[in-house]
């Protein structure tokens, strides 16, 4: 497994006392897998992403990246948040190169790779445009390419499509999924949308209410190799959706 999450627990300290966010959480993610994390609000999904990003330390247990404990932010891990957080005063080029500038890695080789990504994914003509001149889908592609700038192995996505309207969300999620697959990245995505999870992932991890634990793992093997839109037309899509809906609505 590329990622190993071993008996992770997380307890927050606050003026009102302790809050146990995660308890005895364990699962793995293989190289090149796209895994979705679903569960009730407040069950610790985003907290787990923060631990994997090295922004938070678990109270118990550990997380490993290729066998090495994650103990802080790493260039091998990219984090894409709910909003694109593009700086309005910077151009598309200025936004995608921001991380490289901050890490003093804005080399000609890195720039050439970024230009190729922007050309490949439909933003080559917009290098000098500002975010307000882009559609919602283009902004999300820009945000993803910024996340890919340092060539991370693992991508963490925290509800990256939640701010988009339904039609745009379908198209953009398919675009982002295609980019992640084409670039050969491993991904863990948090979502509250069950149909989105079924349309995008190889496996789905269902979490319990707080403190979050793994309730079940669903492997969508009959949908592997299909695009998100092809999955939505597949007869097994509804079966997976119904199983997850019942589990989340009744038993979690």
Give the domain CATH number at 159. Answer: 3.40.50.300
Quote the distance between the C-alpha of residue 152 and its chain's center. Answer: 12
State the Cα–Cα distance between residues 94 and 5, nearest whole angstrom: 35
Closest among 61, 66, 69 to 22, alpha carbons compared: 61
Q: Residue 146: what are its φ and ψ, rounded to 5°?
A: -60, -40
What single string gives the DSSP state of each residue in 127-159? TT--GGGS-HHHHHHHHHHHHHTT--SEEEEES
Q: Residue 52: what are its φ and ψ, rounded to 5°?
A: -65, -30
State the Cα–Cα distance between residues 75 and 35, nearest whole angstrom: 20
Total domains, the chain = 2
Torsion of the alpha carbons at 46, 48, 52 and 53, rounded to the nearest 10: 30
11 and 72 co-located in one domain = yes
| The predicted structure's pLDDT at residue 252 | 41
24 and 63 co-located in one domain = yes
Which of these three, 126, 151, 176, is where a domain ends? 151
Tokens 């959706």 sit on residue: 241
Closest among 93, 60, 99, 54 to 77, alpha carbons compared: 54
Closest among 34, 65, 77 to 205, alpha carbons compared: 34
State the Cα–Cα distance between residues 236 and 134, nearest whole angstrom: 36
| The predicted structure's pLDDT at residue 86 | 93
State the Cα–Cα distance between residues 162 and 169, nearest whole angstrom: 8
Which of these three, 151, 171, 200, is where a domain ends? 151
State the Cα–Cα distance between residues 23 and 58, nearest whole angstrom: 10
Task: Identify the domain containing residue 49 by its residue range.
Answer: 3-76+154-251
Per-residue pLDDT of the chain in tens (252 residues, 90 and over written 9): 699 999 999 998 877 788 899 999 999 999 999 999 999 988 999 999 999 999 999 999 999 999 999 999 999 999 998 888 899 999 999 999 998 999 898 999 999 999 999 998 889 999 999 999 998 889 988 999 999 998 999 999 999 888 788 888 888 899 889 999 999 999 999 999 999 999 999 999 999 999 999 999 999 999 999 999 999 999 999 999 999 998 885 444
What's the pTM?
0.91
116 and 234 co-located in one domain = no
């Amino acid at each position: 497994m590329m990622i190993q999450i071993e008996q992770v627990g997380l307890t927050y300290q606050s003026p009102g006392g302790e809050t146990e966010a995660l308890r005895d959480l364990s699962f793995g993610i293989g190289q090149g897998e796209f895994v979705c994390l679903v569960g009730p609000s407040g069950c610790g999904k985003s907290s787990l992403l923060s631990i994997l990003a090295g922004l938070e330390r678990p109270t118990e247990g550990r997380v490993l990246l290729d066998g090495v404990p994650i103990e802080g932010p790493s260039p091998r891990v990219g984090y894409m948040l709910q909003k694109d957080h593009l700086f309005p005063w910077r151009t598309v080029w200025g936004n995608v190169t921001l991380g490289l500038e901050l890490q003093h890695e804005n080399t000609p080789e890195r720039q050439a790779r970024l230009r190729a990504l922007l050309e490949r994914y439909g933003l080559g003509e917009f290098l000098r445009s500002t975010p307000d001149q882009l559609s919602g889908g283009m902004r999300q592609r820009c945000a993803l390419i910024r996340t890919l700038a340092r060539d991370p192995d693992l991508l963490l996505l925290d509800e990256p499509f939640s701010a988009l309207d339904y039609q745009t969300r379908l198209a953009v999620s398919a675009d982002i999924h295609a980019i992640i697959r084409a670039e050969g990245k491993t991904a863990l995505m948090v979502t509250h949308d069950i149909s989105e999870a079924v349309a995008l992932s190889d496996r789905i991890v269902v979490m319990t209410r707080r403190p979050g634990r793994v309730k079940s793992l669903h492997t969508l093997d009959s949908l592997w190799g299909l695009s998100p839109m092809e999955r939505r037309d597949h007869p097994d899509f509804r079966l997976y959706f119904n199983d997850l809906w019942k589990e989340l609505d009744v038993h979690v």
